Structure 1
Amino acid sequence: MPEGPLTERERQEVLRTHMPDGRITAIPVRRSARLVLLDQVARAFEPGVRYSEAEVNTVLRGFSANVSVLRRGLLDEGFMECARTRYWRCGGTVEV
């Protein structure tokens, strides 16, 4: 299946399949689906706010017990950045 942006219908299906109750049940293999999940997680962080690693981990535990995989995914895919011990959101969608 070709990789590319997902339609809103496909995006909703990814969330229903992998986050049925707001918690991640499995990380998708397809990057486009994984990005949907990471975007959803990134929305839990306020743009412009600096977070400690402990604060980030607390938020991520609400989505999955495997916080290190989520944190690494957010950093690797450009949803968050880190300098020393501070993290901040730098990507993803924002609800208006």
Structure 2
Amino acid sequence: MPEGPLTERERQEVLRSHMPDGRITAIPVRRPARLVLLDQVARAFEPGVRYSEAEVNAVLRGFSANVSVLRRGLLDEGFLECDRTRYWRCGGTVEV
């Protein structure tokens, strides 16, 4: 898979192979594929809503047991931001 933006077909293939039942089976090494997964996870967070760490963890548990890796990925890639006590969605695809 090339290192660049993915086509819709490639995005769907990433989701089929890494989230076949809605739960993440493996986090891709390649950044474009990893971003597809993180974007899918970010959609579970409502824009404009502030979440506690416990609430974020509860949402992430629906995708993987390794919530700390997912949370760190969402923060590092700009899908979530946080202050000392709250998290909020700041990136990713928004359904309209």
TM-score (norm 1): 0.98
Segments of 5+ residues of structure 2 without an aligned counterpart are none
Q: CA deviation at 1:2?
A: 3.4
Q: CA deviation at 1:34?
A: 0.1
Aligned-residue identity in percent: 95
Helix, strand or coil at the partner of 1:81: strand
Q: Please give the alpha-carbon distance, in whole angstroms, between the structure 2 residues aligned to 1:8 and 1:95.
A: 16
> Which consecutive segments of 4 or more residues in structure 1 shift more than 2 A?
none
Q: Please give the alpha-carbon distance, in whole angstroms, between the structure 2 residues aligned to 1:17 and 1:29.
A: 13
Q: CA deviation at 1:85?
A: 1.2
Partner of 1:37: 37
CA deviation map 1:20-69 (0-9, x unaligned): 00000000000000000000000000000000000000000000000000
CA RMSD across the alignment: 0.6
Segments of 5+ residues of structure 1 without an aligned counterpart are none
Q: Please give the alpha-carbon distance, in whole angstroms, between the structure 1 residues aligned to 2:3 and 2:66.
A: 26
Helix, strand or coil at the partner of 2:93: coil
TM-score (norm 2): 0.98
Q: Please give the alpha-carbon distance, in whole angstroms, between the structure 1 residues aligned to 2:6 and 2:95.
A: 18
Partner of 1:24: 24
